[in-house]
């Protein structure tokens, strides 16, 4: 069954092995036209192999690839309407910025006047028009990244693939380039598939995110969906900073209470997937814990560490053998000190429950 008309990209059961190494395994996902789609996960989960397969640089061992409804599994690189920006920039050092931009159009035998018009237009858009006669080694890291982007954009691809493009930049440049990429996406409305191991990049840029593990997508959704409803402990641990607090627990007979080192924690709803007496994990995000108000069901703790981050402070507290982290507004945290007692409130509406064996979420 073919992808729908507004589907830019569809992978079904794509598998690629290199000897005993499984780069991607039965990988399936779709990307809607005009979407900023992020492949997110740590190194060696198959992100680069996935992008190279879409670009035609890698031929899958099994599965199919469709681009705008057309089977391109075995198609040549040329004609896919896809362009890829590599982590290393891959610029031609002996060519000027102008010549780097022009190169793909020369290869496509575009007319000289059209090449000149598109090169100057692209350079102006990327704020490189005053450096068009410079060689790449005379440019900053951010400028080199923009040249690499421009060389891909000038071809006007239907799909732009970006393989960890900001890894080699410093923190400020990464911030600036994230904003630049989002602006370019809005301006061109093109489909972008962006691979990154960086959670901040994934959550701040992706309209939709596919979380990868061992060569496959384990969950996909909007940043809010992944944050609010992680499918398992793996996703819960990858999405959200600081990471979710996880407490060892035992499920009660009523399947809605959980015995923990903090005492009995109660789910607002009975969990159909739970088994009485089984080992479980109760998760709660640092943003969903606060200093308790008078009369609330509080947990007594001792403050271990304060991490001021400007307008908020990450506070680590000890409760028995458990250590929890909570995020407090700076005005609330300003009076706290390590060693001080603190009563905290955990919002039961924000609890997440997982099966200890296997890690899947209990619904």
Domain at 213, CATH number? 3.40.50.300
Residues 155 and 34 in one domain: yes
Enumerate the β-bridge partners of residue 36: 192
Whether 2 has a pLDDT exceeding 50, the answer reads no
Among residues 215, 236, 257, the one where a domain terminates is 236
Residues 219 and 286 in one domain: no
Whether 170 has a pLDDT exceeding 90, the answer reads no
C-beta separation of 210 from 27 below 8 A: no
The DSSP element (H or E) to which 191 belongs, if any, is strand 191-196
Per-residue pLDDT band for 5 (boundaries 50, 70, 90) equals low
Per-residue pLDDT band for 3 (boundaries 50, 70, 90) equals very low
Residues 257 and 178 in one domain: no
Residues 212 and 276 in one domain: no
CA gap 57, 62 in Å, rounded: 15
Chain segment 255-307, per-residue pLDDT in tens = 888 999 898 988 888 787 788 889 999 999 999 999 999 888 889 999 999 99
Q: Which residue has the tokens 């959200």?
A: 240
**Structural domain contains residue 13:** yes
Residue ranges of alpha helices (H) inside 126-250 are 141-153, 171-188, 199-205, 223-228, 233-238
Whether 4 has a pLDDT exceeding 80, the answer reads no
**Structural domain contains residue 70:** yes
Among residues 220, 236, 252, the one where a domain terminates is 236
Residues 214 and 252 in one domain: no
Nearest alpha carbon to residue 53 among 87, 16, 104, 20: 16
Residues 250 and 294 in one domain: yes
CA gap 272, 33 in Å, rounded: 37
For residue 259, the domain's CATH number is 2.40.50.140
Q: How many domains are contained in the chain?
A: 2
pLDDT at residue 1, as a whole number: 36
Chain segment 235-248, per-residue pLDDT in tens = 999 999 899 999 99
Chain segment 66-77, per-residue pLDDT in tens = 999 999 999 998
CA gap 39, 70 in Å, rounded: 22
Mean pLDDT of the chain: 91
Residues 260 and 232 in one domain: no
**More confident call, 155 vs 339:** 339
Residues 281 and 339 in one domain: yes
pLDDT at residue 54, as a whole number: 97
3-state secondary structure at position 347: coil
CA gap 102, 155 in Å, rounded: 9
C-beta separation of 51 from 93 below 8 A: no
**More confident call, 53 vs 254:** 53
Nearest alpha carbon to residue 356 among 297, 274, 285: 274
**Structural domain contains residue 298:** yes
Nearest alpha carbon to residue 362 among 287, 286, 269: 269
pLDDT at residue 227, as a whole number: 94
Chain segment 183-203, per-residue pLDDT in tens = 888 888 889 999 999 999 999
Whether 321 has a pLDDT exceeding 90, the answer reads no
Chain segment 13-47, per-residue pLDDT in tens = 999 999 999 999 999 999 999 999 999 999 999 99
Residues 344 and 203 in one domain: no
What φ, ψ does residue 241 adopt, rounded to 5°?
Answer: -135, 125
* Strand order across the 62-67 sheet: 21-32, 7-18, 62-67, 70-71
Among residues 184, 211, 236, the one where a domain terminates is 236
Q: Alpha carbon of 350 to those of 44, 102, 230, 244, 310: distances in Å?
A: 32, 53, 12, 11, 25
Q: How close are the terminal C-alpha atoms of the chain, in Å?
A: 31
Residues 333 and 225 in one domain: no
3-state secondary structure at position 203: helix
Q: What tokens does 299 get?
A: 């947990």
Chain segment 48-89, per-residue pLDDT in tens = 999 999 999 999 999 999 999 999 999 998 889 999 988 777
CA gap 124, 97 in Å, rounded: 12
C-beta separation of 118 from 153 below 8 A: no
Residues 262 and 215 in one domain: no
What is the percent of the chain where pLDDT is above 70?
Answer: 99
Residues 60 and 197 in one domain: yes
**Structural domain contains residue 338:** yes
List the domain range (segments joined by +) for residue 131: 7-236
């Amino acid at each position: 069954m073919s992808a729908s008309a507004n589907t830019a990209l569809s992978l079904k059961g794509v598998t690629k092995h290199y000897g005993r190494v499984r780069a991607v395994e039965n990988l399936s996902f779709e990307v809607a036209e005009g979407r900023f789609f992020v492949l997110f996960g740590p190194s060696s989960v198959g992100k680069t192999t996935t992008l190279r397969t879409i670009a035609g640089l890698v031929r899958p061992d099994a599965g199919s690839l469709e681009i705008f409804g057309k089977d391109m599994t075995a198609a040549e690189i040329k004609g896919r309407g896809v362009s890829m920006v590599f982590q290393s920039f891959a610029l031609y050092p002996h060519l000027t910025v102008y010549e780097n931009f022009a190169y793909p159009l020369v290869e496509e035998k575009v007319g000289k006047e059209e090449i000149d018009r598109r090169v100057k237009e692209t350079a102006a858009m990327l704020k490189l028009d005053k450096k068009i006669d410079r060689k790449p080694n005379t440019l900053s890291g951010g400028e080199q990244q923009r040249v690499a982007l421009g060389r891909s954009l000038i071809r006007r691809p239907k799909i732009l693939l970006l393989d960890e493009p900001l890894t080699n930049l410093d923190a400020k440049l990464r911030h600036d380039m994230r904003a630049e990429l989002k602006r370019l996406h809005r301006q061109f409305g093109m489909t972008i598939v962006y691979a990154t191991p960086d959670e901040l990049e994934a959550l701040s840029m992706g309209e939709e995110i596919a979380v990868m593990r061992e060569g496959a997508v384990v969950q996909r959704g909007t940043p809010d969906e992944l944050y609010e409803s992680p499918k398992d402990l793996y996703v819960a641990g990858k999405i959200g900073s600081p990471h979710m607090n996880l407490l060892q627990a035992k499920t009660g007979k009523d399947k809605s209470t959980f015995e923990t080192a903090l005492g009995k924690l109660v789910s607002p709803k009975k969990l159909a997937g739970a088994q009485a007496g089984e080992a479980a994990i109760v998760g709660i995000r640092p943003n969903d814990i606060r200093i308790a108000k008078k009369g609330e069901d509080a947990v007594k703790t001792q403050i271990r560490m304060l991490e001021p981050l400007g307008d908020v402070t990450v506070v680590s507290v000890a409760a028995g053998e458990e250590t929890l982290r909570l995020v407090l507004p700076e005005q609330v945290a300003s009076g706290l000190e390590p060693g001080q007692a603190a009563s905290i409130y955990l919002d039961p509406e924000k609890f997440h429950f997982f099966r200890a064996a296997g890690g899947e979420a209990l619904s």
